[in-house]
Amino acid sequence: MELPQRELSVLEAASADEPTPIAELASATGQKPETVTGAAFDLEERGLVTVTEDTVADVELTEEGERYRHMGLPEVRLYLAAREAGADEAPVSMGAVLGDADLEGPEVDIALSNYARKGYGEIASGDLSADPDADPESDPEAAALDRVAADDTVDDDVRETLERRDLVVVHERTVRSVTLTDDGVDALMAGVEATEAVGQLTPEMLASGEWEDVEFADYNVEADAETPSSGKTHVLRATAERVKDVLVGMGFEEMEGPHADSEFWINDALFMPQDHPARTHWDQFALSEPSEVDDLPADLLERVESAHREGVGDDGDGYHSPWTEEMARGVDLRGHTTSLSMRYLSGHQVGDLEPPQRYFSVEKVYRNDTLDATHLLEFFQIEGWVMAEDLSVRDLMGTFTEFYSQFGIEDVRFKPHYNPYTEPSFELFGTHPRTGEVIEIGNSGLFRPEVLEPLGVECDVMAWGLALERLLMLTHGFEDIRDVHGTLADIDFLRDTEVVY
Ligand code: PHE
């Protein structure tokens, strides 16, 4: 019989009497474990070996486990101190013994509950007794901590107790082993020779015609392979790119503009009264350098001021609250990308726009929020607007239904809402795939005349700001936004997460 070299060496290194783990075969044959696995499966297909799988647990001490290994388990320390204080003859006061055992904080409770569980003695109304026959030297959990440290095996039930006590962590992995079958033994007895199996076709082989005579190694797609942990596109970035593709597919063009912008573009152009609570440092981040801009378009500034003071139209009414140009010139990190929509709609960014138009951005915004599972100080907003004659809420809902369905989200819900700059307005909600909770995913509406008239826009504009992170929560099912952002990010999630199309 002839076999490729990598298979032959595995066949020769395997035994008929007991399963040999892949790792052992790898060192015996000098081949990589993934090569050995591939060869083993090929040999199994030929009926020469069987491949078995076992789950083995790698057990590792936690920091607390390591500490107790050196200092002694709290209950053992308590027992030794109790014996020292004579508790094996008559109960002693617990307070004194705890001090002698050097126990404080959470270790006190740990010591007491395990003391009783293990039969070191009894605890009754503040007094401690010690069983004179107990033997802390043979405490199975203490011994197991030493065995874990030495990579020795530990009984399942002791291991489970240590795991419950958070003194060890257990990682399970699959180990494959190879055993010769009767046919495998027969083949070896009859003699097996190595074939020259070629792993890769080369231009030289093609040129010389040698390719016609060689045997090519089979490609085994089931073999274990090393997991490369190289850099890859962050799931949030990947989703942002996908959102852009979807919106471009829906006929939108991309907007761009400054992260730090004047309050004018961020708030005033949006008919946000200057005394609105969202315009304080509680909500937004102000820049001190530069603290002001001086390139605001003068005529637009004037029209916006007039909308704030007097409103627009015949029966319009403004805010009866203060308005200063100085405040409009202040510089903030944008709290929404609606600042970009204002720049574009005003004609300031790319010149006057004739309807119909569709624009979007997927960009960062900054808010002085309190960090929690659903809020960050910065997040990505999916901004968008459509400028056309005669738009209605139905157009807006239809756009969202189409947009979200491209991400498999079919149950978007709407709730009436208030924004100073849109009327009507509504918020969007989606259902979290794991918790079933209904979460807010965006905000939208039709811009008011007080916004559009000063900008010189004469038709309707519907607009929205959606949260990219929330979309990601719906598509990927994670619950804490900090899993994907910042120092608490769940690296395994980021590494393993599939790209969803
Ligand atoms: N600016 C709003 C927000 O950040 C979103 C929005 C944009 C709402 C445009 C209506 C119109 O929540």
Q: Which atom of ligand 1 is nearest to the CA of 447?
A: 11
Q: What angle do CA 234, 237, 241 make, to 5 degrees?
A: 135
Report the alpha-carbon distance of residue 80 to residue 72 in Å, rounded. 10
Cα-to-chain-centroid distance, residue 418:
32
Domain layout of the chain by residue ranges:
2-59+172-216, 63-160, 238-259+335-496
Confidence of residue 173 (pLDDT cuts 50, 70, 90): confident
Report pLDDT digits (tens) over 371-407.
888 888 899 999 999 999 999 999 999 999 999 999 9
Whether 464 and 442 have beta carbons less than 8 Å apart is answered as yes
CATH topology of domain 63-160: Arc Repressor Mutant, subunit A (1.10.10)
Ligand 1 in reach of 272 Cβ (< 6 A): no
Whether 244 and 312 have beta carbons less than 8 Å apart is answered as no
Query: For 247-259, what is the mean pLDDT?
Result: 97
| pLDDT on residue 487 | 84
Q: Backbone phi, then psi, for 387, in 5-degree steps?
A: -110, 120
Ligand 1 centroid–CA 176 distance in Å is: 56
CA dihedral 74, 76, 81, 86 (to 10 degrees): 140
Sequence-distant (≥ 6) Cβ neighbours of residue 202 within 8 angstroms:
none
Binding residues for L-phenylalanine: 338, 381-383, 421, 447
pLDDT over threshold 80, residue 224: no
pLDDT over threshold 70, residue 501: no
Q: Is 366 left (phi over 0), alpha (psi -120 to 50) or beta?
A: beta
Ligand 1 in reach of 342 Cβ (< 6 A): no
Q: Which atom of ligand 1 is nearest to the CA of 335?
A: 4
Ligand 1 in reach of 445 Cβ (< 6 A): yes
Domains 63-160 and 238-259+335-496 share a fold: no
Report pLDDT digits (tens) over 400-458.
999 999 999 999 999 999 999 999 999 999 999 999 999 999 999 999 999 999 999 99
Terminal alpha carbon distance of the chain: 48
Q: Is 125 left (phi over 0), alpha (psi -120 to 50) or beta?
A: left
Cα-to-chain-centroid distance, residue 64:
27
What CATH number has the domain spanning 238-259+335-496? 3.30.930.10
Report the alpha-carbon distance of residue 442 to residue 414 in Å, rounded. 10
Top-ranked range on mean pLDDT: pick from 84-88, 91-95, 245-249: 245-249
- The Cα-based distances of 237 to 31, 373, 481 in angstroms read 39, 20, 14
Report pLDDT digits (tens) over 103-159.
888 899 999 989 989 999 998 888 999 999 999 999 999 999 999 999 888 899 999
Query: For 245-268, what is the mean pLDDT?
Result: 97
Report the alpha-carbon distance of residue 483 to residue 65 in Å, rounded. 27
Mutating to test ligand 1, I would choose from 337, 381, 393, 419 the residue with most ligand atoms within 8 A of its C-beta, which is 419
Structure tokens at 471: 């979309």
Question: What is the number of helices (H) and of strands (E) in the chain?
Answer: 20, 19
| pLDDT on residue 500 | 61
pLDDT, the chain, mean: 92
Ligand 1 in reach of 384 Cβ (< 6 A): no
Structure tokens at 476: 């990927």
| pLDDT on residue 94 | 86
- The Cα-based distances of 368 to 238, 275, 279, 284, 290 in angstroms read 26, 17, 11, 5, 19
Is omega for the bond preceding 4 within 30 degrees of 0, making it cis? no
Confidence of residue 499 (pLDDT cuts 50, 70, 90): low
What CATH number has the domain spanning 2-59+172-216? 1.10.10.10
Report pLDDT digits (tens) over 14-39.
999 999 999 999 999 999 999 999 99
| pLDDT on residue 288 | 94
Report the alpha-carbon distance of residue 89 to residue 348 in Å, rounded. 91
3-state secondary structure 49-114: EEEEEEEEEEEEECHHHHHHHHHCCHHHHHHHHHHHCCCCCCCEEHHHHHHHCCCCCHHHHHHHHH
| pLDDT on residue 438 | 95
Report the alpha-carbon distance of residue 319 to residue 78 in Å, rounded. 72
Ligand 1 in reach of 442 Cβ (< 6 A): no
- The Cα-based distances of 52 to 24, 43, 45 in angstroms read 14, 13, 13
Report the alpha-carbon distance of residue 154 to residue 456 in Å, rounded. 77
Ligand 1 in reach of 361 Cβ (< 6 A): no
| pLDDT on residue 494 | 87
- The Cα-based distances of 309 to 43, 91, 301, 320, 446 in angstroms read 85, 83, 12, 7, 22
Report the alpha-carbon distance of residue 128 to residue 257 in Å, rounded. 72
Report the alpha-carbon distance of residue 69 to residue 268 in Å, rounded. 65
Confidence of residue 8 (pLDDT cuts 50, 70, 90): very high
Whether 2 and 187 have beta carbons less than 8 Å apart is answered as no
Ligand 1 centroid–CA 443 distance in Å is: 5
